Chain A
Amino acid sequence: MSAELALLGPILAAMLAAATPLLFAALGELVVEKSGVLNLGVEGMMLVGAVCGFAVAVQTGSSTAGFVAGAAAGAGMAALFGVLTLLLLANQVATGLALTLFGVGLSALIGQGFVGIPIADVPELYIPGLTDLPVIGKALFGQDALVYLALAAVPAVHWFLYATRKGLILRAVGENHAAAHALGYKVIRIRFLAVLFGGAMSGMAGAYLSLDYTPMWAEGISAGRGWIALALVVFATWKPGRVLLGAWLFGGVTIAQLHVQGLGIDIPSQLLSMLPYLATVIVLVVISRDVARIRLNAPASLGKVFHPDA
């Protein structure tokens, strides 16, 4: 009994950590999509954020500077996307896919000199007494700041979207850009800001992977998490709370399958490795089959090009 409980604590803690990059990326993309823009470049922005954050942290020795640099790099990639799709009216799907391909290549190029370099660990929270609690202590009170930041972002994004006027305007723009324009809202400016926020959040997600979760730089370090984040947003029917559930599910299965691999059970490891992706998608598909909910929450202008004069 106590042996299993002793195992549960680290599993919970690891699950929260594994969910963190997904939370960042998916919450960012959720805001972008709520404004009516579909940016499929999350994976690319994560990779560039990861390598830039890592490089800056190695040069400066400060992981905080690394996180800021990661967010800035993600926002820079997003700005490129915004210029192409919002100002030059390029197709959002094609541009997003190109952004991911570009990010994969660019991050590999920048990261050449950084492969295999060790980096100092990000300090974790320690509250005497609380962190030492059995089972939940380490999970709840022994994480590093980014994990808490990601968790705080869930209610923050929800509050912004559903309780503030700016959030209402953002949803209105994503719902019907022509009507929003007719009422005098600056559709392109609002969408550009949303895209920048999404990029910064993806960059943070990447920097969390390379500075904290792994922590090291390797090519393709995001391993498809950007795509899972995109799927999470849709299957969570654009609800921040459901994004959190999806991210925990993904994190939980990721950690559980690692432990199963460690126990030496005779299942091919490739099957186990794909389990988190598969389980997340299946569960979210099943719980998001409510048509009315999708209709209420899906931004109706998603992915549509907006001409101010049309």
Chain B
Amino acid sequence: MSSPPHRLELRGITKRFPGCLANDQVDLVLRPGEIHALLGENGAGKSTLVKIIYGVLHADAGQIRWNGHDTHIPDPAGARRLGIGMVFQHFSLFDTLTVAENISLGLDQPGPMDALSARIAEVSERYGLSLDPRRHVHNLSVGERQRVEIVRCLLQDPKLLIMDEPTSVLTPQEATRLFETLRRLAAEGCTILYISHKLEEIRALCDTATVLRGGRVVGSCDPRKETARSLAEMMIGTELSTPERLPQGEAGAAKLQVRHLSTTSDNPFATNLKDVSFEVRAGEILGIAGVAGNGQAELMAALSGEALVPDPASVAIEGRPAGHLGPRERRLLGLAFVPEERLGRGAVPELSLSENALLSGYAREPLVRSGLVHFGRARSYAERIIGAFNVVTHGHRAEARSLSGGNLQKFIIGREILQKPRLLVVGQPTWGVDAGAAAAIHRALIDLARSGAAVLVISQDLDELFVLSDRIAVLFHGHLSESRPTHHTSVEEIGLLMGGLFNHPPDEDEVDRAV
């Protein structure tokens, strides 16, 4: 028995928060050079556990052994000194600082800024995570922000790398490249603790998986010997009902028509839309794929009415020119809208659920009477959403921010769907949402389309688009590809389009830059 000591060994880790036991006697063993998946639904205690490992939280009870020695991890700096790096799910980035400054803050000995910028450029080049160290983070897309986090960790030369949902915003090709990087790191002896909701990805990448449910370890397995379905069922503890793809009915009249939409922005880092045209018909779901930062934010803003477009006719809702209308007028025309950012845009974090229900519901549900809020109706509307969409919360008085990501997203989508919109535009419907909630959201979107509404889904998750959409188009550098019927295309083909390989290349130089 002369096997090398375990890289990290947790024994009986228990952490209690007021009102909930987040971790209950958790044991976990990580070996050098293994890629270990940590599975569980939102609220299963994964985040708490990794925060304990990274020294952000302290366990109430239990032991931590690092390379065979009992240890205490007082704070993240202590974790970094041991050689533990972490990519956070909710990015720990500072919007008004540059990429280089952000990375410098995560290092203990960053050295002079110029040298650091050079190292950032080198590492991001080597791992295919292109980044400009001088840019400000608030101008970066979600995907680019994640790259900052990953590069920050790689610069620390870690012995244990914790990755919380790292691929949610990457193209399949980029994810493949990241996996190569992770496998190379693992081969060099680095241990990787990998949290993801994408079970196929875990099957492809990980050597071992530990499953958490309700704060306890409920099993461990070799994910390569399991199916995605069996893994999901282990996580949720019951059988999984996946939404079934009903054959699409007759597509009806066009509910949303976008004609030659181009945008210009004052923000030098925005991606302007260039001559984007498409339409969404009653009864169908159109999916728009693309890597973050290729114009999704601009398209969402142009559709929701947050940004007005110069030519009113370039956006038509139910055949009526709407480009000059604000969000409220567009809602009155029949548009419902679910933005990508749940907290702050989809819902006000500090307000209760019934107040949040009121925010977009007041136009079509009779929640306001002669200028005064009808609180009774707002409450019952919120309760209807909570009931119909199985939102786990302690009631309509709960603050929006107290809900887990999946439950809040179910609430926001429910709020829009219960208004019976004729047109629904959704951005990233299941970003950071667990498998059970994602299935419920997918089911609701499909049901809405089958009931005759037009649905537009803008997402970076290709698996999701293939589950949901009848047709898929790809956004790249502000250009939109032709749409293809989902059953006539493949993940590989869409992946190539996401890298800019359109059949009719817009500009050669842009393709060059993308590759």
Contacts and interface: CB of A to CB of B under 8 A. Distances in A.
A184 B136 contact: no
B416 interface: no
Nearest to B75: A184
B419 to A, nearest CB: 32
B92 A183 contact: yes
Interface stretch (B97-105, B246-254, B464-472): B97-105
Given A184-B55, A184-B77, A295-B138, A165 B104 contact: yes
A183 B156 CA distance: 13
A172 B94 contact: yes
A182 interface: yes
Contacts of A184: 55, 75-78, 80
Contacts of B55: 184
Interface in B92-115: 92-97, 101, 104-106, 110
Given A165-B110, A168-B101, A182 B93 contact: no
A33 interface: no
B105 A183 contact: yes
Contacts of B104: 165, 168
Given A182-B56, A184-B75, A295-B138, A176 B105 contact: no
Contacts of B503: none
B88 interface: yes
A182 B95 contact: no
B111 to A, nearest CB: 10
A295 B266 CA distance: 14
A292 B105 contact: no
A283 interface: no
B80 to A, nearest CB: 8
B267 interface: yes
Given A165-B104, A168-B105, A182 B76 contact: yes
A163 B105 CA distance: 13
Contacts of A169: 105
A171 interface: yes
A168 B138 CA distance: 16
Interface in A166-199: 168-169, 171-172, 175-176, 178-185
A300 interface: yes
A179 B96 contact: no
A294 B105 CA distance: 23
A153 B287 CA distance: 56
B97 A168 contact: yes
A179 B92 contact: yes
A298 B96 CA distance: 9
B75 to A, nearest CB: 5
B136 A175 contact: no
Among B78, B80, B105, B138, residue most surrounded by chain A Cβ atoms (within 10 Å): B105
Contacts of A257: none
Contact of B93 (A165, A179, A181): A179
Given A179-B92, A184-B55, A171 B97 contact: yes
A297 interface: yes
Secondary structure call for the B interface: loop
Secondary structure call for the A interface: helix
Interface string B441-452: 000000000000
Interface in A133-189: 165, 168-169, 171-172, 175-176, 178-185
Contacts of B136: 296
Contacts of B78: 184
Contacts of A297: 96
B76 A175 contact: no
A182 B92 CA distance: 7
A183 B95 CA distance: 15
Contacts of B267: 292
Contacts of B76: 182-184
B469 to A, nearest CB: 35
Interface string A1-22: 0000000000000000000000
B93 A300 contact: no
A173 to B, nearest CB: 9
B110 A176 contact: no
Contacts of B95: 175-176, 300
A304 B101 CA distance: 23
Contacts of B88: 182
A64 B128 CA distance: 60
A175 B92 contact: no
Nearest to A163: B113
A182 B105 CA distance: 11
A63 B75 CA distance: 46
Among A172, A184, A295, residue most surrounded by chain B Cβ atoms (within 10 Å): A184
Contacts of A182: 56, 76, 88, 92
A152 B78 CA distance: 38
A71 B138 CA distance: 38
A300 B97 CA distance: 12
Nearest to B93: A179
A179 B93 CA distance: 6
A185 B107 CA distance: 11
A87 B256 CA distance: 54
A130 B77 CA distance: 54
B394 to A, nearest CB: 18
A183 B136 CA distance: 19
Contacts of B96: 171, 175, 295-298, 300
27 contacts: A165-B104, A165-B110, A168-B97, A168-B101, A168-B105, A171-B97, A172-B94, A172-B105, A175-B95, A175-B96, A176-B94, A179-B91, A179-B92, A179-B94, A180-B105, A181-B56, A182-B76, A182-B88, A182-B92, A183-B105, A183-B106, A184-B55, A184-B77, A185-B105, A296-B136, A297-B96, A300-B96
Given A168-B97, A176-B93, A296-B96, 6 more contacts: A165-B104, A171-B94, A179-B92, A179-B94, A180-B94, A183-B105
Those 9 A-B pairs whose CB atoms lie nearest each other, nearest first: A184-B76, A179-B92, A184-B77, A175-B94, A182-B92, A184-B75, A172-B94, A176-B94, A296-B96
